[in-house]
Structure 1
Amino acid sequence: MDAEEILARFDREIRQHPLEGPGAAVEREPGIVRVVTADDGWTGITWTDLTGLDPAAVIAAQVRRFAAAGVPWEWKLYSHDRPADLPARLLAAGFEPGPPEALLAAEVAALPQEVQLPEGVHLVPVTSAPEAELLVSVHDEVFGGDHSAIGRAVLARPDTVRAVVAMAGDRPICAGRIEFHPGTAFASIWGGGTAADWRGRGVFRAVVAHRAALAAAAGYRYLQVDASDDSRPILKRLGFVQLATTIPFVHA
């Protein structure tokens, strides 16, 4: 797999052409692609290349635009975005960086797709409100905060989002979702957080394999993920390759 080629394709197909949907509008101007969502969906900047532009003026314009939108947002910065000093410029403009994550990708056909679960664990697809509540509960437990918006999004977009919960008896111990990007070569996986007492027992790997099988069945060539420090080593052992690093910058 040619990492540079796949990164260029990811930029072109996903970052520069994010999906529009109910309540979500894609806006473009020189050097910037952003998504503005009216409800509780994701809002922010997906692509940046300020080569030949005045970075300070562009940054100020984005702050004004999102202030007018009146919703929380992030500038999703990637390590190859330009100019190279953009992180420092965002810090100087009052942005605060979140935890860095690794942008990973893999050929779907090369990933394990056989689901192997520990004894007593089974997978439950998220297709209704009760399963969405299970997904939210395990995300809240593992990641902290309130993830009810994710539960609503999964139910609202059944054609492009699928989610699954790993259950140990009647207890949710892991959950993750896959998002399909029609017209592109990419599907992406999100979540996958596992309860602390179930880590290291293959549940996370099984949930990845389940979603890789869904991507294969839907005809996608690549599977992409923004990986934390905890999940990155596992995903690399499964066959994922790091393409870049991404950091969410939030305006204070």
Structure 2
Amino acid sequence: MRISLLAPVTLLSLLPLACGGSDQPDPNDPSQFGSGQYQGGQYGQQQPGYGQQQPGYGQQPGYGQQPGYGQQPQQPAGGQPTAPATPDLGGILGGGASTSSGGTASPIAPAAVAAATPVMTALAASEVSGMSPEGGAFAAQFQDGQTFEQPFNIQPGKCYSVIAAGLGIQNLSIQIVAQQAPLPPVTLAQSNTSGANATLGGKGQCFKNPLPIGGPAKVILRAQGAGAAIGQIYVK
């Protein structure tokens, strides 16, 4: 009877020794929570990714550095950055420097064409004998194809002639044009001579105004070749 009681008592006394030899803490012991000794669960360990920078967080792809932004253009070896090529406008427009003629000649003082005075005197004597000058002489410096306009008033029943002499000009022509607004300009007469000197209505063939009224008009000199010219209107 004593032996049966001693056996359980002995087993109970050995149980703490057996348990004390284990290093594992009791998972149900509240004193182990937060101690850092419990490693079997989630307590005491850093959460995966917690407190760590999230992948890509705080650094957006490409943020703060746009492609090509703040970068200097590539330079050729040993030189300055290459400037963009300028399109050849001459080729686009169909040629190089313009050589077109035309436009208005520059007026000059008749005295600047004094060398043409003997020519003018001879023309007046042969072409407009018996006619009187209408206003003063006029002169201009021409480039090839340029024109010069001298305004005057046509009187009713009057007859008009114009003579002009050129220096350096290959060919000079003369027109009388009516300029009655709002009608477009109308050519009333023109020269039929050639060369550096020109005559309109010479040798008694003056232009006569067929209308009973007068009006504004202009003499137009046109030059082929560069040079100077002087002109004079005559009336009778």
Bucket of the pairwise TM-score, normalised by the shorter protein: under 0.3
TM-score normalized with structure 1 length:
0.21
TM-score normalized with structure 2 length:
0.23
> Between Structure 1 and Structure 2, which shows a larger proportion of strand residues?
1
> Between Structure 1 and Structure 2, which shows a larger proportion of helix residues?
1
